[in-house]
Amino acid sequence: MQDVNWTALIIFVLLFAFITWLGFAAAHWRRGDLDLLHEWGLGGRRFGTVVTWFLIGGDLYTAYTFIAVPALAFGAGAIAFFAVPYTIVIYPILFLVFPRLWYVCHKHGYITAGDFVRGRFGNRWLALAVTITGIVATMPYIALQLVGLQVVIGAMGVSGSGLAADLPLIIAFIILAAFTYSSGLRAPASIAIVKDILIYITAFAAVIVIPIELGGFGKIFAAVPAPKLLLATPGPNTTGAYGVYATLALGSALALFLYPHSMTGILSASSGRAVRRNAALLPGYSFMLGLLALVGFFAIAAGVGALPEYAAGFKQFGNNFAVPALFLHSFPSWFVGIAFAGVGIGALVPAAIMSIAAANLYTRNIHREFINQNPTDKQEAQMAKWVSLIVKFGALVFILFVPTQYAIYLQLLGGIWIIQTLPSVMLGAYTRWPNDWALLIGWAVGIFAGTAMAIAANLTPTYVLHIGGWALPGYTAFYTVILNLVVVAVLTPVFNAIRARPAALDETVASDYFA
């Protein structure tokens, strides 16, 4: 690896010191009793439109997104741009479904998706399935945030072996664990504002300065190999890359707000109206994501992959090193420090929210449901704080001792698994018609089929269906959630005919889903 870039590193450390202070100071922001779970884990449900915008944006557009989307464009080309329509499609879903969930969760004091499913369908095992799925899908996501942090630290020349190599990540983990424990969701909410400002400055600087340096967009696109500029035209009897692109966009959109960290960000809003406003405002992040995807093409045009000074970085981090290499090549060291700090802070914000979300799920839907059914408010909040530490520690151990590729595989599986909660959560926001046991079986079928398909496809996110002489490659999560819904639709009338379902199982009424 190259020598330490001291200017970039000093600016990086100073900005990290600032957000560390901010994370601890957040405990006094919109002061509440942090011995109450909804205060610690949801910020007291008091974040308005602007704070919610930063929080959800910081939650969804992570350090790994900043690194991985351009890396995909750098390595695979146009398929990376599926992320743009994907993040456009999610906002109508947010507008239509999640204000209803906010209202009912606020009315009944629900803190997690598991709470809602338990109240709506009256089945603790279905709620447990949703809870375990959420926790398992979140863990590798946290690990991947540390990967993004690891890449930018390595890009500044901080390297070594053994403890010396791992020490920066360990320090970042300690900082993250400490301010999350002390301040709860208020910490990432306040830090997200700083992170997003830095990311926007970086993104706009990149799309203005780098094209000027490279001679304009015409020269950039001329330098990108033709196969990477467009999706490959499908052959006969196959949808080819078009099917992959479309199902990746739609399936990812259906899954995104089912993740526990997404739900936590939404439920922390002060009103359903704030959620709707964010559905209108959050596409600003989609615009930024499109700019970030272009950065992958900039890296191709700049030829950073062939420069000897970055060979060690590409060898260690693969295509994930494309963005750091481009920034080191194109910007002065002081700006590199700002950009890398934005990515590094962009790792801490979602990691904090994810650990809080996983802790909320365990505390409410496993510990309270099956272990201690009558905890005091303080015991409940304390349990969540301890679990958030354990979750972060587990992610750190995973990234330190397990090859990064396995975290990526598990995160891909996590997308396949989390979408199986869609019938219980999204349909549950509109109707009580699905039978709870049919939902549980549909979930199990989707989990099993999705895992089997992913293994058969060598743990890649796409699978080729063969139907009537047609080969239909597509996103495994999209195919399996359709299978899940079919199972639910077929089994619900059967189970309802066998066993009459008491209406009292549903704690909610129709008026709970509106203002």
Whose structure tokens read 């901010």?
A: 22
Q: How far apart are CA 287 and CA 346, in angstroms?
A: 17
Q: 78-107: per-residue pLDDT in tens?
A: 998 888 888 889 999 999 999 999 999 999
Q: Residue 162's pLDDT is what? A: 60
Q: How far apart are CA 241 and CA 233, in angstroms?
A: 7
Q: In the structure encoding, which two tokens stand for residue 46, read together?
A: 């008091």
Does residue 441 lie in a domain region? no
Does residue 504 lie in a domain region? no
Does residue 454 lie in a domain region? no
**Which CATH number characterizes residue 305's domain?**
1.20.1730.10
Q: Residue 158's pLDDT is what? A: 80
CA 287 centroid distance within chain: 18
* Number of domains within the chain: 1
Whose structure tokens read 């239509």?
A: 96
Does residue 465 lie in a domain region? no
Does residue 476 lie in a domain region? no
Q: Residue 30's pLDDT is what? A: 78
CA 366 centroid distance within chain: 23
Does residue 175 lie in a domain region? yes
Does residue 494 lie in a domain region? no
CB 45 within 8 A of CB 268: yes
Q: How far apart are CA 470 and CA 218, in angstroms?
A: 38
Q: How far apart are CA 383 and CA 388, in angstroms?
A: 9
Q: In the structure encoding, which two tokens stand for residue 26, read together?
A: 């957040």
Report residues of the chain scoring pLDDT below 70: 1-2, 160-165, 500-504
Q: In the structure encoding, which two tokens stand for residue 278, read together?
A: 């964010």
Does residue 171 lie in a domain region? yes
Give the residue numbers spanning the domain of 344.
Answer: 6-417
